Amino acid sequence: MEFSTQTTTGLQQVRTAALGVGVFTDGILTPPAEILDRASEGAISAVLKSEFKGKANTHLVLRNLPGVKAERIIVIGLGKQEAYKAATHAAAEQTFAGLCASLNVTEGVSTLAGVECENTSLRSRASAMATAALRSQYRYEATRTKDIEPAPRLKKLAVWVSRSKADEVKEGLKEGTAIGNGVNLARELGDLPPNICTPTYLGDTAKKLGKEFKSLKVEVLDRKKIEAEKMGAFLSVANGSDEPPVFIVMRHTPKGGKSKDKAPLVLVGKGLTFDSGGISIKPAASMDEMKYDMCGAASVLGTMRAVAELELDREVIGLVASCENMPSGRANKPGDVVTSMSGQTIEILNTDAEGRLVLCDALTYAERFKPEAVIDIATLTGACVVALGHVNSGLFSKDDKLAEDLLEAGRNAGDTAWRMPLEDAYQEQLRSNFADMANIGGMPAGSVTAACFLARYTSAYSWAHLDIAGTAWKSGKEKGATGRPVPLLTHFLLSRS
Ligand code: BES
Ligand code: MN
Ligand code: ZN
């Protein structure tokens, strides 16, 4: 999809197949809607008096308005003006782009980004518009042969803006495009079935990105190399499956080369392409959704793609530890003790708490980059879903500055996180009589003890952990990956460059 600016002063003169304008409830018109209303001698206010109330998530298509050159006016409800916020704007843009596609038009013009909205800028709204539009065009097709809707013909969307502000909008569109592409890559990887999206497939996808973007260098370590690194905890999980594991290292180097004064930022993703639970096997219901247990890894690939597309002026490294968790004669057993890359030993009391086993070695590997900060992203615990539902990702960090920056990035991106505790008092729950730690901490505060486990591998640097178990995908009729937290991560990296 191509994004541009439309700087014709008189909105009524704009020729397009679909022109999107917002209205608030109680008949309050946005400035663009007002222009069209005046040009058409009250055609928009007339419908607002009768059938259309301007509620959020509603819309109306008007054709052939007198005095207006656009073929169709798509009136989009924005809800109450006093409650209008970034999320409502993004949803409205998504509705508009989605409608353009279903109306089978090839181009459209949106005026929504020009409407003031609290805690946003024109640039951030233009960014949100591009991301929302790209999101709306995502279709999972890879393994469907029937009943797939025809591919959307929508090719071009423009933002209506005055000429003096067009550059600001273009910057935002560029940013939003990179984020949207990253989000859709993460969604595709998440949605692909686990017999296709294997660790090898993730490795191949990373290599492809390395070919596509000059700034990205990609290395994929195979089992032998992972063994040479002594990643004993990761390997103990991988060994239960016939599917070979991979450890992916992606490096984005800015155009001018590495800067000497700024240490790299490192992302670490959990890449379980299927989590059956292993010997501590999961119940059958919804087990298919454990194909999404690689969404942390997918968000790392998606964010690295965005970083590369934006040519971010900051060194960023993406690490992914990927394998399957399966029951077999070579799988971990409850009671096994394994030695992690850090040298610390772990008593495995539940083979389904495998994410932390995979991540702890990746976190140790991250030390070699002497990073400014490391952020791991993982569908780590069902307990996090209990705590925060599907609204916020769980954020754990002892570094207040890092935590606040991530929370803020999430707010700005419309991809929010909520801070959870990470005090040493919880560490007690991980006590083991037979190893340095156990891999589970019992029922209470399950997402916190999981984070506490990881904390034991991060003493060399500033670190944060995002538990995305509740936010990475949707269940039920709308089952599908969300691409979260690619927007949060990209905004964070932008804020540090
Ligand atoms: N991948 C799961 C976490 C998960 C479960 C995410 C359901 C989303 C929905 C993880 O590997 C896991 O199984 N965690 C266990 C930990 C427990 C054994 C301490 C869990 O949450 O039940
Ligand atoms: Mn598990
Ligand atoms: Zn898992």
Q: Which atom of ligand 1 is nearest to the CA of 325?
A: 11
Could you tell me the CATH number of the domain that includes residue 219? Answer: 3.40.630.10
391 backbone dihedrals φ, ψ, rounded to 5° = -95, -55
Q: Answer yes or no: 496 catalytic.
A: no
435 plus 308 within the same structural domain = yes
Among the candidates 101, 127, 160, a domain finishes at 160
Residue 369: give the domain boundaries. Answer: 182-495
pLDDT of residue 257: 84
Q: Quick check: CB of 429 below 6 Å from ligand 1? A: no
155 plus 202 within the same structural domain = no
173 belongs to a structural domain: no
DSSP codes joined into one string, 410-478: HHHHT--EEE----GGGGGGG--SSSSEES---STTHHHHHHHHHHTT-TTS-EEEEE-TTTSEE-GGG
134 plus 198 within the same structural domain = no
174 belongs to a structural domain: no
109 belongs to a structural domain: yes
pLDDT of residue 258: 79
318 belongs to a structural domain: yes
176 belongs to a structural domain: no
231 belongs to a structural domain: yes
pTM (two decimals): 0.97
Q: Answer yes or no: 262 catalytic.
A: no
398 plus 339 within the same structural domain = yes
Q: Quick check: CB of 355 below 6 Å from ligand 1? A: yes
Q: Which residue is listed with tokens 């439309």?
A: 6
pLDDT of residue 229: 98
Q: Which atom of ligand 1 is nearest to the CA of 384?
A: 21
Could you tell me the CATH number of the domain that includes residue 117? Answer: 3.40.220.10
Which residues, given as ranges, of the chain have pLDDT below 50? none
249 plus 114 within the same structural domain = no
171 belongs to a structural domain: no
84 plus 186 within the same structural domain = no
pLDDT of residue 51: 86
* Strands 216-221, 337-339: pairing kind: unpaired
- Catalytic hit among 85, 170, 230, 282: 282
Overall number of domains in the chain: 2
63 plus 107 within the same structural domain = yes
pLDDT of residue 110: 98
213 plus 359 within the same structural domain = yes
135 plus 188 within the same structural domain = no
pLDDT of residue 129: 97
- Catalytic hit among 72, 135, 187, 356: 356
How close is the Cα of 234 to the center of ligand 2, in Å? 13
pLDDT tens by residue, 147-163 = 777 788 899 999 999 99
Q: Which atom of ligand 1 is nearest to the CA of 289?
A: 9
DSSP codes joined into one string, 295-341: HHHHHHHHHHHHHHHTT-SS-EEEEEEEEEE--STTS--TT-EEE-T
Q: Quick check: CB of 405 below 6 Å from ligand 1? A: no
Neighbours of 257 (CB within 10 A): 8
Proximal ligand: closest to the CA of 467:
1
pLDDT of residue 297: 99
443 belongs to a structural domain: yes
pLDDT of residue 238: 98
383 plus 442 within the same structural domain = yes
How close is the Cα of 306 to the center of ligand 2, in Å? 29
Q: Quick check: CB of 379 below 6 Å from ligand 1? A: yes
Q: CA-to-CA distance for 126 and 7, rounded, in angstroms?
A: 14
Among the candidates 106, 127, 160, a domain finishes at 160
Q: Quick check: CB of 188 below 6 Å from ligand 1? A: no
Max Cα-Cα span within the chain: 81
136 plus 190 within the same structural domain = no
150 plus 186 within the same structural domain = no
Q: Quick check: CB of 354 below 6 Å from ligand 1? A: yes
Cβ neighbourhood burial of 389 (10 Å; 0-12, 13-18, 19+)? exposed
Q: Which atom of ligand 1 is nearest to the CA of 447?
A: 21
Among the candidates 160, 191, 216, a domain finishes at 160
Q: Write the residue with the smallest CA distance to atom 9 of ligand 1.
A: 382
Q: Quick check: CB of 467 below 6 Å from ligand 1? A: no
